[in-house]
Amino acid sequence: MAVYTHVSAEMMARFLRDYDTGELISFKGIAEGVENSNFLVETRGGKDGHRFILTLYEKRVDPGDLPFFMALLDHLAERGCRVPRAIADRNGVQIRELAGRPACLIEFLEGISLTSPSPAQARAAGEALARMHHAVADFDGARPNSMGLASWHELAGRCDGQWQQIDPALEALVEGELAFLAEHWPQNLPQSVIHADLFPDNVLMLGDSVSGLIDFYFSCRDARAYDLAVTHSAWCFSPDGRQFDSAVSDALLQGYHANLKLTPQEIAALPILARGSALRFTLSRAYDWINTPPDALVTRKDPMAFARRLIFYADPAKAGLFG
Amino acid sequence: MAVYTHVSAEMMARFLRDYDTGELISFKGIAEGVENSNFLVETRGGKDGHRFILTLYEKRVDPGDLPFFMALLDHLAERGCRVPRAIADRNGVQIRELAGRPACLIEFLEGISLTSPSPAQARAAGEALARMHHAVADFDGARPNSMGLASWHELAGRCDGQWQQIDPALEALVEGELAFLAEHWPQNLPQSVIHADLFPDNVLMLGDSVSGLIDFYFSCRDARAYDLAVTHSAWCFSPDGRQFDSAVSDALLQGYHANLKLTPQEIAALPILARGSALRFTLSRAYDWINTPPDALVTRKDPMAFARRLIFYADPAKAGLFG
C-alpha cells in the first residue's frame, strides 16, 4: 500500500490535456494494490467522464502485457460486465507514459471492497465471475499464466533454504504438494481468459451487488474452473485461513453454477484446482515474505494463511465440497 | 505518504451509522499528509454531504489539541473561509475513535495542491491567508506554538553530533542562527491564531483560485506576521531552496497586503520572522532526516532546502524584500 512514484498535480494536468476529460479538479495518491502507483483523478467539463484511476505500472506488470489487459477491459465492458473502462486519449491511445512509467487512465467505479463477505455477497461474486466467463467466450486475446503450475517449482526453488523462517512444516508441505500436483494436475479442461486473482479486494460491492471487478493484472488464459477455485480459496476462509465458511462457500458456488454450468470433468477437477490455487498463493506470499524486510512499511501477507487452506483442500474428508 | 492503520470497509460502514451521511459507497486510503492515516470516503443518500476525508491521528497530533483544531475549522467555515468543515455525528460529536485512534470525519474539498505555483496563484494564497487572519479576529481558542522559538533549541540539541551526516556547514549555520534569533526575535507583535504550515501542499486550488486551506494541525497562537513569513518561505523558492522567485514573492505579499494591512512593526520584523521560519523547517527536517532510515519508504525531505532559504533571508542585501 504505497505510492511509489511522485506525480505533481501540474504533471497530471498536462497529461490530461491529451484527453477529452476536462479540467483537473482533484488528484490524490491512493493506497490501492501492492505493485503499482495509483491516483484518484477528478475532472470537470469533459466528455469522457469525470472520475478516474490513473495507474503507473511499477514492477511486476510487464508493459508488453498492457495491450492484453486493456483489450480485455474493453471487451468485458462492451458486453455489459461491470469493469472499469480504459480511457483513450484523443488519438485513441490507452497506454501512455507518465513519470517514466507506462500509465493508463481507467474509469473510477463506485463500490467498496469487503474484508468479510456475507453469503449473499459471495453469491453475487460467483454470479459476476460466471458472467465474466460467458463474456470472454469470444475474446481471442492471449496471455499465458505466469503464475501457473510451471512457475510454482521455480518459485519454490527461489525460497530454498529459507522456509524455516516462515514455519518449520512449510517446506515438506510445499514439496509434497508440488510432487502431487505435477502428477495429478488436470489436463484438457476448457480454457478461457480468467481473472486469476479475484480476491474480495478486487470485487467492488454496493450492498449485496457487485459494482465492479477490478485489478485484472494476473488475468491470463488457463482452465476456466481454476478461476472458480482461486475465487473459492480467496473468499471462503477467514483471512488467516483457520476458519472455513461453508455458507459463503455454498453461496459462491451456487452463484457461479446458476449462471454457468461446468462440465462434469471440471467439477471433478475442482478439489485439485483449489489445492493448486492455495499452493500458488502460499508460494507467492512465501517469496514476498522472504524478500521483504520485516521493518518495511509494506505489510507482509502471511504465507501460512494459504498453507492452511492447502491442508484443508487436501483433506480427503473435504472431497465432496465442490459437489 | 502512507496509511498506517488498516480500516476495513465494514468498520467504516459501521462507523458511519452514527452520522447523517448515508450509505458508504466508496472508501480509499489516500497518500496525504505525512503523520496521519487518511481515507477518502464517499456516501449516498445522506443529509450531511457525500464526500469526506476520514483522518486517524497517529503520532504527532496530540489528541488534546483536536478540540482546538475542530473549533477553528468550524469558526473559519462559518465566516466564509474555504476550509473543510468537521462533520459531527448525530450526538454532535466531531472527535470519535476508530481502530483505537482518534478519528475525525471532515468535509472533502475539490482542488489540487500545486508544486510550482504561478504568481497569480501565490497572490490568491496571500489573499486567502489574509482573509483567514481577519476571520480569526474573534476566535478565542488557544494553543501554544509547539514549533516556535523555544522549541528550536531543544530540536537542535536532539540533532547534536549528527549534523555531519547532513552537511558539513549545517551545524555552524544553525548555532549562529539560534544565537542571533534568541537575541533579536521580535516581541510584542500582534498575535492571532495562525496556520503556521501553509505550504502549497496545504492550499487547494482550482485554476488561479483557492478552493480550500487544509491541514491546520500546526495551527496555534503566535505572531500574525510569522504566518506570512512561513508562507513566504514555503512558496517563493524552488523546492530545493536554490532559486528565489521574486515574481511569486511580490504577488504573495501583494495579495496579503491588499486584504490586511500589517503594522510598520510587523513589516519591519518580517525578515527576521522569515529567518525563523527557515530555521524551523531546517530543524524539523534535520531531526526527521536523522531519525528516518535511508531505506524507509517515506521520502526524507532535505533539510538543506530550508538551510538555503535561511542563508538567503539572512543576507543583508535582501533586507528590502518585504518592503
Quick one: B145 and B247 in the same domain?
Answer: yes
Does B3 reside within a domain? no
What is the distance in angstroms between the Cα of B122 and the nearest Cα belonging to chain A?
Answer: 15
Does A136 reside within a domain? yes
Domain boundary residue among B51, B86, B107?
B107
Does A171 reside within a domain? yes
What is the distance in angstroms between the Cα of A315 and the nearest Cα belonging to chain B?
Answer: 32
Quick one: B135 and B273 in the same domain?
Answer: yes
CA B250/CA A158 separation, integer angstroms:
60
Contact A59, A76 (CB under 8 A): no
Nearest by CB: B3 against A1, A6, A27? A1
Cβ within 8 Å of residue B70, ≥6 positions away: B86, B94, B95, B104
Q: Residue A101's beta-bridge partner residues?
A: A98
Contact A40 B31 (CB under 8 A): no
Quick one: A253 and A174 in the same domain?
Answer: yes
Quick one: A138 and A276 in the same domain?
Answer: yes
Q: Which set of grid coordinates corresponds to residue B25?
A: 459507497
CA B170/CA B94 separation, integer angstroms:
43
Contact A115 B9 (CB under 8 A): yes
CATH number at residue B88: 3.30.200.20
Is A95 a residue whose pLDDT tops 90?
yes
CA B117 to chain centre: 16
Nearest CA in chain A to B11: A115
CA A18/CA A98 separation, integer angstroms:
12
Per-residue pLDDT of A245-257, as tens digits, reads: 999 999 999 999 9
Nearest by CB: B9 against A1, A40, A112? A112
Does B60 reside within a domain? yes
Nearest CA in chain B to A117: B10
Residues of A engaging B, defined by a Cβ cutoff of 8 Å: 1-3, 6, 8-10, 12-13, 23-32, 40, 42, 110-116, 206-207, 293, 295-299
Quick one: A175 and A284 in the same domain?
Answer: yes
Quick one: A90 and A137 in the same domain?
Answer: no
Q: Which helix (H) or strand (E) holds B105?
A: strand B101-107
The number of C-beta contacts closer than 8 angstroms across A and B is: 90
Nearest by CB: B26 against A110, A116, A298? A110
Quick one: B72 and B202 in the same domain?
Answer: no
Does A1 reside within a domain? no
Contact B296 A297 (CB under 8 A): yes
Contact B10 A113 (CB under 8 A): no
Per-residue pLDDT of A134-168, as tens digits, reads: 999 999 999 999 999 999 999 999 999 999 999 99
What is residue B2's predicted lDDT score, i.e. its pLDDT? 57
Question: Left (φ > 0), alpha (ψ -120 to 50) or beta: where does A219 sit?
Answer: beta
3-state secondary structure (DSSP) of residue A91: coil
What is residue A1's predicted lDDT score, i.e. its pLDDT? 42
What is residue A297's predicted lDDT score, i.e. its pLDDT? 57
- pLDDT (mean) for A215-230: 97
3-state secondary structure (DSSP) of residue B314: helix
Nearest CA in chain B to A24: B112
Which residue out of A112, A114, A204, A214 would a mutagenesis test of the B interface target, given it has the greatest number of B Cβ atoms within 10 Å? A112
A127 vs B3, residue with greater confidence = A127
Is A89 a residue whose pLDDT tops 80?
yes
B318 by Cβ neighbours in 10 Å (0-12 / 13-18 / 19+) ranks as middle
Closest by CA position to A81, among listed A206, A196, A214: A214
Residues in B touching A114 (Cβ below 8 Å): 8-10
CA B320 to chain centre: 26
CATH number at residue A290: 3.90.1200.10
Contact B112 A24 (CB under 8 A): yes
Nearest by CB: A30 against B9, B29, B299? B29
Quick one: A44 and A162 in the same domain?
Answer: no
CA A118 to each of CA A130, A171, A196, A252, A312: distance values in angstroms, whole numbers, following the listed order = 18, 34, 21, 10, 21
CA A9/CA A13 separation, integer angstroms:
6
Is A3 a residue whose pLDDT tops 70?
no
What is residue B296's predicted lDDT score, i.e. its pLDDT? 60
Quick one: A83 and A126 in the same domain?
Answer: no
Quick one: A169 and A39 in the same domain?
Answer: no
Nearest CA in chain A to B114: A9
CA B116/CA A10 separation, integer angstroms:
8
Nearest CA in chain A to B295: A296
Per-residue pLDDT of A10-35, as tens digits, reads: 999 999 999 999 999 999 999 876 67
- Give, for all 323 residues of chain B, the pLDDT tens digit: 456 788 999 999 999 999 999 999 999 999 876 678 999 999 999 988 899 999 999 877 899 999 999 999 999 999 999 999 999 999 999 999 999 999 999 999 999 999 999 999 999 999 999 999 999 999 999 999 999 999 999 999 999 999 999 999 999 999 999 999 999 999 999 999 999 999 999 999 999 999 999 999 999 999 999 999 999 999 999 999 999 999 999 999 999 999 999 999 999 999 999 999 999 999 999 999 998 876 665 678 999 999 999 999 999 999 889 98
Q: Give the structural domain span for B242.
A: 119-322
What is residue B323's predicted lDDT score, i.e. its pLDDT? 83
Q: Residue A43's beta-bridge partner residues?
A: A24
Tally the domains of chain A: 2
Domain boundary residue among B61, B87, B107?
B107
CA A210/CA A228 separation, integer angstroms:
16
Domain boundary residue among B107, B127, B150?
B107
Classify residue B117 by its DSSP letter.
-
Quick one: B58 and B85 in the same domain?
Answer: yes
- pLDDT (mean) for A160-187: 96
Nearest CA in chain A to B7: A115
B23 by Cβ neighbours in 10 Å (0-12 / 13-18 / 19+) ranks as middle
Residues of B engaging A, defined by a Cβ cutoff of 8 Å: 1-3, 6, 8-10, 12-13, 23-32, 40, 42, 110-116, 206-207, 293, 295-299
Closest by CA position to A79, among listed A136, A125, A140, A141: A136
Does A3 reside within a domain? no
Does B289 reside within a domain? yes
- pLDDT (mean) for A187-214: 97
A319 pLDDT tier (thresholds 50, 70, 90) = confident
Nearest CA in chain B to A8: B115
Mean pLDDT of chain A: 94
Quick one: B163 and B306 in the same domain?
Answer: yes
3-state secondary structure (DSSP) of residue B31: coil
What does residue B202 show for φ and ψ, rounded to 5 degrees? -100, 15
Does A170 reside within a domain? yes
